[in-house]
Structure 1
Amino acid sequence: MTPTERTIARLPAHLRRFVVSQDYAAYTARDQAVWRNILGKLRGHLADKAHSVYLEGLEATGIGSECIPSLDEMNEKLSRLGWACVGVRGFIPPAVFTELQALGVLAIAADIRTHEHIEYTPAPDIVHESAGHAPIIANRRYAEYLKACGLVGFKSIASVEDQAVFEAIRNLSVVKEDPDASEEEVAHAQARLEAASASRRFVSESTRASRLYWWTAEYGLIGDLERPRIYGAGILSSIGEAKHCLTPAVKKLPLSVACADTDYDITRMQPQLFVARDFEHLFEVLREFESTLAWKRGGDFGLEEARRARTVNHLVLADGREVTGRVLEMVAAPRPLASGLTTALVYMDGPILSSREGKAGGEKPWNGSALVAFGQAALPERGPFKLALESGLVLEGFAAGGGEVLALRGRLAGRELDLPAVTKLFVSTHLPSVAGGPADPETWDRWFGEMSAFSEGDGEAKARSRKALALHPSLAALYREVRQMREARTVKPERLAQIAAAATDFPDDWLLRTEVEELRAPRA
């Protein structure tokens, strides 16, 4: 097995289906020229502007200037740092990206930007994901931050509107990178994103976590506020951003948890950036942010966050059991039951999955609804029961086994409750945590993955096809010839002159002329 195949084999099954092979042979000579041009400019510009580990980090993670990196070579180097990488196709769902990162696996977009967008592209590409994210991992403390930040993002609760915004951003970035996209298509994609953003009823935890990630791991500066250095991947992989970010036109703000409340536009250069004192400062801000999340707070706060999100999340009960489903409604108790908890009963919509420590242990999902009652009581495994809880909630019914109850009736403060006659019933003294997504993603994906399967959209596939067809065969042949000369280190002046003359047939392709001029220039 290759190093990359070994990495993929270690991934949980629900993550493996998002992985694609790199297909290194599919990169054209012009793709290689794009890489050379960007990396050459970035190395020269960032040598004294990026964090001090940058140049060393490029070498340590298998990233050279002459050719697009091989994921196998990167994995060989990254393994020494406790990391790995896999190829993915463009934008992947945030929960997948953050889970991979929490596991110490970089998701490397296999595509590379076009020469028209060489200074900046909103679409994920191999320049951003490798030359941007990988080098600073050579700093151990920063590498730990990336994993910790990934875990926080993974545990954050996302809303149904977040998914719509994600799809709209993905669509816009693809359209903007499509060489044949019309002005009308770009305008429609922009309008779709604006509409999706306007549909948000509230700012979710996941959105705030993504902002924190954006202003640190993607667009972070570090050091002195007046003379900061660059460590964010979005800047390290964009010569346009790298030149722009340190100018007076960009406002520099001290990093604080307030960055999680500062929105960003993925399609434009950033008007302000946040400066961390050092990498320890990142952990200080992350811990402060983490303490605000339902994952850490649980109780009424977590339940309300899950209810308004309208997405699949999971409750962690006092005994460690995890209940995955959608929180529909909470019934309040007349008085507090535990610290931060005044809820007597929670209605959850199915399917419901019960687990411990993130493992369902072979248990099948329950297709009906579920109830979670809070108080000191134990549901018998089988037979008739009557539970009288401190909240005043009284539940009666018949336990069929495995938490399933029949003929359920309930009263609270003298009022009859409208309860499902057949349901799953869980009882817990308190609620330590409410976290994003299913507690056991692998089992959930095995049962319901096809329902939420992520696939390349028609627009994305068409854009990739158009991008390949946009390279004229004659132009492609010229690029290949120049590339062959470079690799063989054999410069043929007469032939280069002929190629330069032939390049005039493609006036918009400045990159080939640049490649030829480099080879024709006298060597020092």
Structure 2
Amino acid sequence: MKKPSTITSNSGLRGEYDHAADDYTVGQDWHAYTPEMHERWRRLFARQSDLVRTHACASFRDGLARLDCADGIPRFEDANTVLGAATGWRLVAVPGFIPDDVFFDHLAHRRFPVTRWLREEHELEYLAEPDVFHDFFGHVPMLLDPAIARFLELYGKAGVRAMAMGALDMLARLYWYTVEFGLVHEDGALKVFGAGIISSSGETRFAIEDRQVLRLPFDPVRVMRTGYMIDSFQKTYFVLDSLPHLIEALVSLDFGPVYQTWRNDPPLPAGEMLPGEFPIGAFA
């Protein structure tokens, strides 16, 4: 959801930025969605919800059920009623990618930016930019989990320090390998909680079932040092012991010395183990 701050409607990104507010918010304009768009949402939802039942963590499954969004593109105002009562979060519509500082400020104040446009028919399998399906289906159910709700708020507050110390890339990797592509141990199995995985049918199966992909125990410093893949399935996934473990790791870590030590080093290649590391096996 982040992008460098020179965003305009002529930047090559989709989305109408010209009429966005200073914080890049816009109206959702729910009535502009066509019947074809709602039908496309239903097909995307049906395909992914089949995988949710077997591959997603309990918090995601419970959150998705509470949002009740199977029948069409949801109204953000309806979701905000559920979110506000549960964790104090609310959704704000945005045109697409937004600048880092704006993104961090939204998170620090428990506002989650959700892109308002929906992918086209030919993009059902792959999409280079986040759309409303990725943002809502993938992220919003986890905002109902107190641990993830708290983590995202803390992450937003941590952004100011990372930017000041020239370590934004390191902090971004923490978001990437948790909120976007995180796995968690649950009831003796591996489960998905990252939006980038759960909004992709192919990567959902790959992340859990592939016997060759590298899965490592979650360690925040290792995560912040590890490069990631933008245009293909990930080569490395990090596995939490539990969702509250994410909060414990964040509040116990002094980010300053970590940034000072590693910020000028190139990221570790994705898919490669360090000496002494032991991978976690596949679910199936």
State how far apart, in whole Å, the 1-side matches of 2:68 and 2:160 are. 28
Shift of 1:68: 0.4
Cα distance change on mapping 1:224 and 1:140 into 2, 3 Å: closer
Per-residue deviation, residues 244-272 of structure 1 (Å, max 9, x unmatched): 21122422111112011111122222122
- Secondary structure of residue in 1 paired with 2:42: helix
User: Which amino acid counterpart does residue 223 of structure 2 have in structure 1?
Assistant: C
**Structure 1 residues 207 and 158, CA gap change in structure 2 (3 angstroms):** farther
2:274 alignment counterpart? none
Task: Quote the Cα distance in structure 2 between the aligned partners of 1:210 and 1:15.
Answer: 25
Is 2:93 the counterpart of 1:130? no
Checking the alignment, whether the CA contact within 8 Å between 1:225 and 1:253 is kept in structure 2 is: no
Matches within 5 A, 1:308-347: none
Correspondence for 2:206 = 244
CA contact (8 A) 1:120 1:241 kept: no
Distance of 1:206 and 1:234 partners within structure 2: 20
Find the partner of 2:127 among 121, 129, 152: 121
Shift of 1:37: 1.1
Q: Assess if the C-alpha contact under 8 Å between 2:228 and 2:235 holds in 1.
A: no
C-alpha distance in 1, partners of 2:227/2:249? Answer: 17
Aligned alpha-carbon RMSD (Å): 2.6
Letter in 2 for 1:208: M
> Is the Cα–Cα contact under 8 Å of residues 136 and 231 in structure 1 kept in the other structure?
yes
Aligned to 1:287: 251
The structural deviation recorded for 1:94 is: 1.6
Query: Which of residues 251, 262, 279 is equivalent to 2:226?
Result: 262
Report the CA distance between 1:26 and its aligned residue. 2.2
Q: Partners of 1:225 and 1:218 in 2: how far apart?
A: 22
Higher RCO structure, 1 or 2 (CA under 8 Å, sep 6+): 2
Name the amino acid aligned to 1:143: A
Q: Is the 8 A contact 2:147 2:247 kept in 1?
A: no
- Report how far residue 277 of structure 1 moved: 0.3
Which of 261, 265, 278 lines up with 2:242 in the alignment?
278
Q: CA deviation at 1:158?
A: 6.0
Once the 2 structures are TM-superposed, how far is the Cα of residue 154 of structure 1 from its aligned partner? 3.5
* Equivalent residues of 2:93, 2:115 under 8 A apart: yes
Which runs of 5 or more residues in structure 1 are unaligned? 1-13, 160-203, 309-524
Distance in 1 (CA, whole Å) between partners of 2:245 and 2:170 is 18
Equivalent pair of 1:86/1:105 in contact (CA under 8 Å): yes
**Residue 55 of structure 1: aligned partner:** 61
**Alpha carbons of structure 1 residues 15 and 276: separation in structure 2 relative to 1, 3 Å:** farther
Amino acid at match of 1:215: Y
Q: Does 1:64 pair with 2:69?
A: yes
What is the CA–CA distance in structure 1 between the aligned matches of 2:231 and 2:103, rounded to whole Å? 19
1:149 lines up with 2:155 in the alignment: yes
Moved more, 130-139 or 23-32: 23-32
CA distance in 1, matches of 2:161, 2:68: 31
Is contact 1:36-1:66 (8 Å) kept? Answer: yes
For 1:147 and 1:106, the matched residues in 2 are separated by 10
Amino acid in the other structure paired with 1:217: V
Please say if residues 249 and 271 of structure 1, whose CA atoms lie closer than 8 Å, have aligned partners that are also in contact: no
Q: Call closer, same or farther: CA 1:101–1:17 in 2, change over 3 Å.
A: closer
Kindly state the Cα deviation for residue 63 of structure 1 after the two structures are TM-superposed: 4.3
5+ residue gaps, structure 2, are 1-19, 265-284
Tell me the CA shift for residue 32 of structure 1: 1.5
1:78 and 1:84 in contact (8 A); partners too: yes
**CA distance 1:214–1:65, shift in 2 (3 Å):** same
Q: Max radius of gyration: which structure?
A: 1
Does the 8 A contact of 1:121 with 1:267 survive in 2?
A: no
Show the counterpart of 2:83. Answer: 78
Distance 2:215 2:189 in 1: 10
Cα distance in structure 2, aligned partners of 1:265 and 1:150: 23
Give the C-alpha shift of residue 280 in structure 1: 2.4
How big is the shift at 1:243?
2.1
Give, in angstroms, the shift of residue 105 of structure 1: 0.8
Q: Which residue of 2 aligns with 1:206?
A: 168
C-alpha displacement of 1:15: 7.2
Q: Does 1:253 align with 2:259?
A: no
TM-score (norm 2): 0.77
Could you list the per-position Cα deviations for residues 499-522 of structure 1 after superposition, in whole angstroms to 9, with x for gaps in the alignment? xxxxxxxxxxxxxxxxxxxxxxxx
- How many residues are paired up? 241
With over 3 angstroms needed to count, the CA separation of the structure-2 counterparts of 1:232 and 1:66, relative to structure 1, is same
Aligned to 2:193: 231
1:142 shift after superposition: 2.1
In 2, the alpha carbon distance for the partners of 1:101 and 1:282 equals 16
Partners of 2:96 and 2:115 within 8 A in 1 = yes
CA-CA distance at 1:77 after TM superposition = 1.4
Q: How far is the alpha carbon of 1:232 from its aligned partner?
A: 0.7
How far apart in 1 are the matches of 2:23 and 2:247? 32
